[in-house]
Amino acid sequence: MEELIIVGRVINFFGIKGELKVKSAFDKKEKVFKIGNHILINNELLKITSVRIHKNNYLIRVNNINDINLVTKYIGYNIYFKKSDLKLAEHEYILQDLIGATVMDDKENIGRVIEIYTSSNMNYIKVEYSNKTYLIPLIDEYIDHFDQETKTIYTNNGKSLCL
C-alpha cells in the first residue's frame, strides 16, 4: 500500500467562497500545497485547485468548490499526502524519516531519535540514550549526513550535547 504522510490539518474555513485554512508544520510544504496535487481528507481524495498563504497558514480550495457549506465537513481533519508524490531527490528526506534513526558520533552510538521538534527558526531531533534524552539541532555544525538505507544519522560534536 502507498505510504501516506500527515502534511497538515484543516483548522477552519476562510471566507465564504470555500477556502480551507490549513496549519502545517511539514518540512516540505511547498511540494505538497501546489495546484493539481491530490490530498486525502477524511478518506476523500481531493484535488487542490487554488493555493495561497495567509498569516503563516495555507488557504486552499479543493475540487473547485466555491461554497462554504460544502467544505465545513473537513474542519478538524488531518491532511494526508502520498510520500511517493513528493518526488524527493536521491539524498533528500523528510523529517519524519529521522524518527527511530540511530545517532552516531565519531563511530560511537550516542542514541536513537525518538521525536522531532520544529520551531520557526530551527528543527531539532530528540535523542534518547541510557534513559536520558537530549536535543541536537539539525544544522551543519552538528549533523554531517543521514544515511537513509541504514537509517543512521552521523553527527559532528553531537556527543558534546549529551548531558
Q: pLDDT digit string (tens) for 96-132?
A: 999 999 999 988 898 999 999 887 788 899 999 888 8
**Of 60, 86, 112, the domain-final residue:** 86
Q: How far apart are CA 30 and CA 49, in angstroms?
A: 15
Instruction: Report the first-to-last Cα separation within the chain, whole angstroms.
Output: 41
DSSP string computed for 61-128: EETT---HHHHGGGTT-EEEEEGGGG---TT---GGGGTT-EEEETTEEEEEEEEEEE-SS-EEEEEE
pTM: 0.82
Do residues 67 and 130 both lie within one domain?
no
Give me the percent of the chain exceeding a pLDDT of 70: 98
The verdict on 134 and 76 lying in the same domain is: no
Tell me the mean pLDDT in the region 37-46.
96
Domain edge (last residue) among 86, 113, 138: 86
For residue 19, pLDDT beyond 60 = yes
Structural domain of 140: 95-161
Same domain? 71 vs 101: no
Q: What pLDDT does residue 1 have?
A: 55
Residue positions counted in the chain: 163
- Work out the average pLDDT over 47-59: 96
Tell whether 102 and 153 lie within a shared domain: yes
Statement to judge: residues 129 and 77 lie in one domain: no
Residues 28 and 78 placed together within one structural domain of the fold: yes
Residues 72 and 116 grouped into a single domain = no
Q: Which of 35, 64, 86 is the last residue of a domain?
A: 86
Mean per-residue pLDDT for 120-149? 89
Q: At 46, which CATH number?
A: 2.40.30.60
- Mark whether 51 and 114 lie in a shared domain: no
- Does residue 45 sit in the same domain as residue 119? no
- In the numeric block, which cell numbers belong to residue 152? 543512521
Same domain for 76 and 110? no
pLDDT at 61: 97
Q: How many CA atoms lie within 13 A of 92 on its CB side?
A: 10
Task: Give percent of the chain with pLDDT exceeding 90.
Answer: 67
Nearest CA among 126, 155, 125 for reference residue 141: 155
Q: Indicate the number of domains in the chain.
A: 2
Q: Let me know whether 28 and 61 are in one domain.
A: yes
Are residues 79 and 106 located together in one domain of the fold? no
What CATH number does residue 99 fall under? 2.30.30.240
How does the average pLDDT of the chain come out, rounded? Answer: 91
